[in-house]
Structure 1
Amino acid sequence: MTKYSLLILLVVIFYSCNPNKSENDKPVAKVNDKILYSSTVNEVIPVGISKDDSLLIANNYTHQWVKKQLLISKAELNLSDQDKDVSKMVEDYRSSLIIHKYQQQLIEQKIDTLVSQFEIDNYYRTYSANFVLNRNILKALYIKVPIPVPNLAIIQKLYKSDKEDDWSELQDYCFQNATKFDNFNDRWIYAQELLNKLPGKIGDEDQFLKRTKNYETSDSTHHYFVKIQEVELKDNLAPLPFVKEDIRKILLNKRKIQFIKNLEENIYRDAESKNKFKIY
């Protein structure tokens, strides 16, 4: 620990524990006429952490503060008065923040976030060209079992079966023996999400998905079982369930945009009717 680091830590700890901190606040660093006080450093240090962690945070914050002040000083020296005049930018940014906060507050209070299935279906039909797949998707079952596989013949029979009793038995088997048991039968996923879980590389993904129903492979430690239920290849229209959440977000966003447009127009018309502004 350097003397400088120790000094920072002692100053921060002492004055964070001192009930008269505002009276005893001491400088930690100085750049030109800018001073960093212990109270400011103390504000960024979480309560209850170790002295070593406090030192690390205090050190990092102090060095970053010094670098920032030096950079500001350098910029002040090298920029023209016109370039340094950021008051308009600050005011524009402040105005944008206030407007955004007000809009978001009203949106949270007024906007109905419920999007009906009818709206989703209608948008899907109307803009179907926007929902063409750019990657293959599938529904599948994925199982990973350590080698040696217990009762290999049994799991080979169970994972291929569509019988409800066999499914229950397969779940029991996987609970006891499988390292991974992922059931993607009830939702679409990108094919690569599944294929990346398998050892080796599938050469022609499209042909593999077209021809494969059940698939097994192994590496040095595990045996893998895959049952592909459904496939939709890229360049086909995405199934509605796959894009339903995206459509819901699109419709909500459109609703918000329209709400903001109406809000601005209503505020304008109200102010106009009460002669609150003049345009010369």
Structure 2
Amino acid sequence: MLSILLSSCDLFEYKSGEDSEEENPIIASVGNQSLKRSEVTFLVTEKSTEEDSINITNRYVQSWIRKQLMIKEAGSTITFDETELNRKLLDYRYALMIYEFEKAYINDHIDSIISENEIKSYYNENKSNFSLKEIIVRTNFYKLEKNNQQNKTLEKLLSSDKQENKANLKQIALNHASNYYIEDSTWVRFEDIIVNTPLAENNNKVELLRNNRTLKVDDEIYTYYFKILEYKLQDQIPPLDFVREEIAKILMNKKKVALVEQLQKDIYKRAQENNEFQIYD
């Protein structure tokens, strides 16, 4: 029923000219269906090693065999209505043609700019549709070795909200911290900022945030400091900045849908004006 497998990249030394059996041999067969050498040459690139080429091609051949066996089994088990099958194939072909046409039209005509006013307007009108599935925070984070002499200074600076302290905190972060995060205005997932710290093991993070603005935890080597500037809990409405990218994608998709709908209307109207179709009773 079938015969393979491939053992060398010589398989892909396909010659031009007549498609003789010697130049383009069959490499696998199932019943009366055959897979020829020329049909698998696309799998191998110049960068592929001989071993990679053999493995990739063997996987493809095995996949082809399984598909042909399923087709053979289906054909021998179920009686297909050929007319209906051909109609479905034609419908799929036409749907694919329309999809490719619409995609090309969108690429040529879409206005890819989403304004800040559009984003704000959508956010304000649809706030109730956004709900956090996780805790997010605006925070500063510092990781210093426990014996670092700057720890006391850092703790003192973090206990105060004086604006002039920011420059000193930044210098400690740059010069002494093993890791840090000092983006005041950016919202991040709390789980992301505490990963690989002792806080990750805390099972009551909500109470932790509600009762503390400065968090300090230690492990054997490091001390970790978190200055919580603001937080939002699960099920609360996220701030605009956190969902800005999501909203931009939603608005872009709406533009695409509107563009296609207008295209369909324009084509219909033009055909109607030119008497390109008739509707019969």
Per the shorter chain, which TM-score range?
0.7 to 0.9
Q: How does 1:84-103 map to 2 (within 5 A)?
A: 85-103=84-102
The structure 2 residue matched to 1:9, chosen from 4, 7, 10, is 7
One-letter code of the match for 1:169?
Q
Residue 49 of structure 2 is aligned to residue 79 of structure 1: no
Q: Check 1:192–1:164 CA distance in 2 against 1; reply closer, same or farther (3 A cut).
A: closer
Name the amino acid aligned to 1:240.
Answer: L
Task: Name the SS for the 2:225 alignment partner.
Answer: strand
Q: How far apart are 1:74 and its partner, in Å?
A: 0.8
- CA distance in structure 1 between the aligned counterparts of 2:221 and 2:68, rounded to whole angstroms: 56
C-alpha displacement of 1:154: 4.1
Tell me, in whole angstroms, the C-alpha distance in 1 between the residues paired with 2:139 and 2:231: 9
Deviation at 1:221, TM superposition (A): 4.4
Q: TM (normalized to structure 1)?
A: 0.84
Range with greater deviation from structure 2 (232-241 or 157-166): 157-166
1:106-125 deviation digits (Å, cap 9, x = unpaired): 22222222222222222222
**C-alpha displacement of 1:205:** 2.2
Q: For residues 85-164 of structure 1, what are the structure 2 equivalents within 5 Å?
A: 85-145=84-144, 149=148, 151-157=150-156, 162=163, 163-164=165-166
Partners of 1:20 and 1:115 lie apart in 2 by 54
Deviations 1:77-135 (A, max 9, x none): 11112289522222222222221222222222222222222222222222222234343
Q: Match of 1:115, SS?
A: coil
Q: In structure 1, what residue type is equivalent to 2:190?
A: A
Seen in structure 2, the aligned counterparts of structure 1 residues 9 and 147 have a Cα distance that, compared at 3 Å, is farther
Q: Report the more deviating stretch, 197-206 or 111-120.
A: 197-206
Give the AA of the match of 1:203.
Answer: N
Residues 1:184 and 1:78: Cα distance change in structure 2 (over 3 Å) = farther
Call closer, same or farther: CA 1:168–1:98 in 2, change over 3 Å.
same
Q: Which residue of 2 aligns with 1:183?
A: 182
Segment drifting more, 46-55 vs 270-279 = 46-55
After superposition, the Cα gap between the structure-2 partners of 1:172 and 1:18, relative to the gap in structure 1 and judged at 3 Å, is: same
The answer (yes or no) to whether the contact 1:137–1:190 under 8 Å persists in 2 is yes
Aligned pair 1:68/2:62, yes or no?
Answer: no
Aligned residue runs from structure 1 range 1-280, under 5 A = 5=5, 8-10=6-8, 12-16=9-13, 18=15, 22-23=19-20, 24-82=23-81, 85-145=84-144, 149=148, 151-157=150-156, 162=163, 163-174=165-176, 177-178=177-178, 180-199=179-198, 200-280=200-280
Letter in 1 for 2:264: E
Shift of 1:138: 0.8
Structure 1 counterpart of 2:64, one-letter code: W
Q: CA deviation at 1:137?
A: 1.6
Q: Contact (CA 8 Å) 1:215, 1:226: kept in 2 or not?
A: yes
Q: 1:132 to 1:32 in 2, by over 3 A?
A: closer
Distance 1:86 1:157, change over 3 A: farther
CA distance in 2, matches of 1:271, 1:241: 46
Shift of 1:250: 2.0
Aligned-residue sequence identity (percent) comes to 25
Distance 2:220 2:78 in 1: 64
Given the superposition, is the C-alpha separation of residues 84 and 32 from structure 1 closer, same or farther in structure 2, using an over 3 Å criterion?
farther
Relative to structure 1, the CA distance from residue 18 to residue 100 in structure 2 (aligned partners, 3 Å threshold; closer, same or farther) is closer
Instruction: Give the distance between the partners of 1:171 and 1:21, measured in 2 at CA.
Output: 71
- Whichever structure has more helix as a proportion of its residues is 1
Question: Residue 43 of structure 1: CA displacement?
Answer: 2.0
Alpha-carbon distance between aligned partners in 1 of 2:234 and 2:66, rounded to the nearest angstrom: 51
Contact 1:139 1:228 in 2 (8 A): yes
Give the ranges of 4+ consecutive aligned residues of structure 1 lying more than 6 Å apart after TM superposition: none
Structure 2 length-normalised TM: 0.84
8 A contact 1:76–1:84 mirrored in 2? no
RMSD: 2.8
Indicate the SS of the match to 1:86. helix
Question: 2:201 aligns to what SS in structure 1?
Answer: coil
Contact 1:124 1:247 in 2 (8 A): yes
Q: Give the Cα–Cα distance (whole angstroms) in 2 for the partners of residues 150 and 165 of structure 1.
A: 18
Shift of 1:59: 1.9
